[in-house]
Structure 1
Amino acid sequence: MIGYVCVGSNDIPRAKRFYAAVLPALGYSVKEGPEGLSYALPVPEGQRPLLPDFYVKPPFDGQTASVGNGTMVAFEAKSQAQVRSLHTAALAAGGTDEGSPGFRADYGPHFYVSYLRDPDGNKIAIYSSDPKEPARGELQWKNGSL
C-alpha cells in the first residue's frame, strides 16, 4: 500500500491554485504550513486511511524542484463528466494539457482519463473507470443525437 505521494514545487501559491481547482472536488481537504501543502481524504474516527495523502512541498535539500521522467500521480474521479470538468478547471488554474479527456486504446474499455502538468511540470492524471458509464467504442447519445 502506498503511504503518501509527494511532488516538488518551486512556487507553493501557484501550486495551491492548480491543486485547489482539482482536489477538493475529489474529496480532499488541504492543510497549509511552512513546509508546503498537505492534502488528505476524510478518515472516519477509529479507521486508518485507505488512500494515500498527497503533499506539495519545496524540496527538502533546498535545491530547485524538478520532475521525474515517467513519474505521474493519478487521481480517481467519480465520473467521466468529472474528469472533463476537472481537466478544464486545472487548465484554467495554470496547468498544461498532456492528453485531453478520453479513452485510450492501451487501457481497459472503461478507463477514461486526462493528463495534465501542474505549474511545476509534475504529471497528473485524472481518471474514471466506472463500468456503469459508456465504454470505449460505445455510441454516446445526448439529447437524441450523437
Structure 2
Amino acid sequence: MISYVTVGADDMAAAKQFYTAFLPALDYGLEEGPEGLSFALPVEQGKKPVFPDFYVKPTFDGRPASAGNGAMVAFEARNQRQVRDLHAAALAAGGSDEGQPGFRADYGAHFYVSYLRDPQGNKIALYSSDPTEPGRDG
C-alpha cells in the first residue's frame, strides 16, 4: 500500500492555489506548516487512516524543485463530470493542460481521464472509471 506521495514546489502559494482547486472536492483536508502542505483524507474516529496522503513540500536540499520525467500522481474523481469540473478548476488555479478530459484509446472503455501540470511542472491525472456511466464505445 502506498502511504504517501510527495512532490516538490518552489512557490508554495502557487502550489496551494492549484491543489486546493480540486483536492478538497475529493475530500482531502489541508494542513499547512513550515514544512509545506499536507493533504489527507478524513479519518473516522476509531478507524485507520485512508491512504495515500499527498504532500507538497520545498526540497530538502535547497535546490530548485523539478518534476520527474515519467512521474505522475493520479487522483480518482467520483464521476466524469467531476473530472471535467476539477480539470477546469485546476487550470483556472494556475495549472497547465496536458490532456483534456476524455476517453483514451489505450485504456479501458470506462477510463475517463484528464492530465494537468501543477505550477512546478508535476504531472497530475484526474480520472473516473465508473462502469455505470457511458463508456468510450457507448
TM-score band by shorter chain is: over 0.9
Q: Which amino acid aligns with 2:96?
A: T
Which residue does 1:69 correspond to in 2? 69
Question: For this pair of structures, how many residues does the alignment match?
Answer: 138
SS at match of 2:17: helix
CA RMSD of aligned residues (A): 0.6
- The answer to whether residue 44 in structure 2 is matched with residue 44 in structure 1 is yes
Gaps of at least 5 residues in structure 2 are: none
2:42–2:50 CA contact under 8 A, matched in 1: no
Task: Note the C-alpha offset of 1:51.
Answer: 2.2
Structure with bigger gyration radius = 1
Kept in 1: contact 2:4–2:52 (CA 8 A): yes
- Per-residue deviation, 1:64: 0.6
Q: Distance in 2 between matches of 1:70 and 1:49?
A: 28
Length-normalised TM-score, structure 1: 0.93
Q: Percent identity?
A: 71
Separation in 2, partners of 1:118, 1:22: 12
User: What amino acid maps onto 2:90 in structure 1?
Assistant: A
Moved runs in structure 1, 4+ residues, more than 3 A? none
Which secondary structure state, in structure 2, belongs to the residue aligned with residue 109 of structure 1? coil
Q: What TM-score do the two structures reach when normalised by structure 2?
A: 0.98
Which residue does 1:82 correspond to in 2? 82
